[in-house]
Structure 1
C-alpha cells in the first residue's frame, strides 16, 4: 500500500491484490501515516482486482485504526471485485463508500469539525 497527503486528505492506495500478503502490507503501512485527528483518509480501491478474507480483514483493521485515531476513512471508487466482497459480507452497510471525492461533503453524517479542519 502507498499513501500520500494531498489537498488536505490522506490518500491510501492498496495493492491490486488484497490477500494475506497485501493485507499484511496494508496493516504494516498504517502505522507510518502521521495521525491528525479529524483528518479524512481516502482509500482508493479502483485497482483492487482480488480480495479475500485476509484482505477484507485488513480493510476492517484500517477503518478501526483510523477511527481510533479520530480520523474518518472512506472507500473511494471500489472496483467491481471490492464492491462484490463488501456486498456479500454486508460491509457495504458499514463502510462509507463513495464514487468521487465530492461525495464526502454531500454525506449528511459529516461533522462540522471535519468541514473546518
Structure 2
C-alpha cells in the first residue's frame, strides 16, 4: 500500500492510494489523512483508482478519514474508485455517505 499526497493550487489535498486497503494497511490511510489535516488541509480527495481491494477495515479507515476531515471543518471525497471498491461501497450502502467522483476536479467543483 502506497499513498502519494499532493496539494493542488486550490488547496485540495489529493491522496492517491495504490494496492490493498485492508486490516494491515488501514492504519496507514488513517495516519496519512490525519497528517494532512494536521497540516491544515481539510478538503481531501482520496483517489482510489489504483486500489485493487478493500475490506471492512479499509471501509472503517475511509469513514474515520471522513470524520477527521469533517471535524476539522472540511470533507473527504472519494475519486475514481476501482470496480471492486465501488462494488463494496454499494453493497454496504456506504456510497450514500462516501460519495465517489470521477476525478479530483469533479470532487470539489462548486
In proportion to residue count, which structure has more strand? 2
Mapped to 2, the partners of 1:99 and 1:83 lie a distance apart of 12
Aligned twin of 2:88:
85
RMSD of Structure 2 on Structure 1 (CA)? 1.5
Unpaired stretches in structure 1, ≥5 consecutive residues: 111-117
Say whether residues 1:61 and 2:79 are aligned partners. no
Partner of 1:6: 8
Aligned residues of 2:80 and 2:103 also touching (Cα < 8 A):
yes
**SS of residue in 1 equivalent to 2:49:** coil
CA 13–100 in structure 1, closer or farther in 2 if over 3 Å, else same: closer
* 3-state SS of paired residue (1:31): helix
Aligned residues: 104
Contact 2:29–2:61 (CA under 8 A) maintained in structure 1: yes
Counterparts of 1:1-117 in structure 2, within 5 Å, are 1-7=3-9, 8-33=11-36, 34-36=39-41, 39-103=42-106, 104-105=108-109
CA distance in 2 between partners of 1:28 and 1:9 (Å): 18
Q: Which runs of at least 4 in structure 1 moved beyond 3 Å after TM superposition? A: none
